[in-house]
Amino acid sequence: MSQEIAVIGSPDFTTGFRLAGVRKFADVPDDDKAAELDDAVQGMLTDEEVGILVMHEDDLEHLSRGVRNDVETSVEPVLVTLGGEGAGSGGLREQIKRAIGIDLMEED
Amino acid sequence: MAKDVKPTRKNLMAIEDRIELSERGHDTLEKKRDGLIMEFMDILDQAQDVRSDLNENYDEAQRKINMARAMEGDVAVRGAAAALQEHPELTTESKNIMGVVVPQIESSKVRKSLDERGYGVLGTSARIDEAAEAYEELLETIILAAEVETAMKKMLDEIETTKRRVNALEFKLLPELKSNQEYIEQKLEEQEREEIFRMKKIKAKKEEEEKAEREAAEQEAEEAETVTADD
């Protein structure tokens, strides 16, 4: 089955991806993020046609705890975050610390 | 716990069998965990390279789209974005790394030539083309990052599960089985000692009885002798 890339974020963030042909996107203006981002993310998580979900690292802060956990641990679709401090998508760094026992990304 | 098992030789043998099996399982799982961690380290190196590429490409793409916005205006950029006809598609295949199924993502139609993009060439400028190209490159890196990071997530899950199993065997099951084994061994030894003590007691008692009988018989014989001497 062929899948697509989806983008969620402020209109400024999504425009560029749409320019590259991304069809599935959710524009959530900065002011409405606290209220609408959860629903937008949940909608994309349940969409079977979405294979990769692209978000800005800072936007994860606006998500409620449950949704954030869902999206960070989700494998299909997988979350790829941009921006932020560059320590890997979502809770990957935390997960590495928990599974291996050492913070392997410290050198970054 | 140790008090629940009956101290019989049959139970002891069963526990010894379980200890052997658990130890073998523990060794195998430990090897699996170490193997997974080694594979994970390889992927981690790859992931860190992809991450730095991703950040670089993102900065570049942002710079270019900001430039396009500044030169052409936000409306023109959004208009061009809305006109796109071709959409990138992903197909996922799977690969097996030590029992962990990781995806391999193939993409098509990410990079497009100018005429495939769908917005008119005349109405837009080279700035928008550059921004579109930069974002196409970014998408390619994102797809690579998605592949590597999914593999990492799945392997981390597997490492965690394996580690938990190894620890459960090492710190819970094996100590319990060993304490049961020790308990049964001690109980059996105690029973053996009791048995020996009992035997010794019986032997001593029997010897005493025999001695008393012998003495009684001797006395009788003596008495009989004196009676015949008197006659």
> How close does chain A come to B154, measured CA to CA in Å?
8
B211, two tokens: 């001695």
Nearest to residue A40, comparing CAs of A80, A77, A83, A9? A9
**A89-to-A69, A92, A106, B7, B170 alpha-carbon distances in Å:** 12, 6, 15, 55, 33
Give domain limits for chain B: 9-170
What is the set of domains in chain A, with CATH numbers? 4-100 (3.40.50.10580)
Average pLDDT of chain A, as a whole number: 82
B117 vs A contacts (CB less than 8 Å):
21
Q: Do A21 and B163 touch (CB under 8 A)?
A: no
For the segment B184-213, the average pLDDT, to the nearest whole number, is: 96
pTM above threshold 0.95: no
Tens of pLDDT, residue by residue over B108-117, are: 877 777 777 7
Helix (H) or strand (E) holding B184: helix B174-230
Q: Do B48 and A105 touch (CB under 8 A)?
A: yes
Q: Do B110 and A73 touch (CB under 8 A)?
A: no
Q: Do B131 and A100 touch (CB under 8 A)?
A: no
Average pLDDT of chain B, as a whole number: 88
Confidence (pLDDT) at A19? 85
Query: Which residue from B minimizes the CA distance to A85?
Result: B55
CATH number of B9-170: 1.10.287.3240
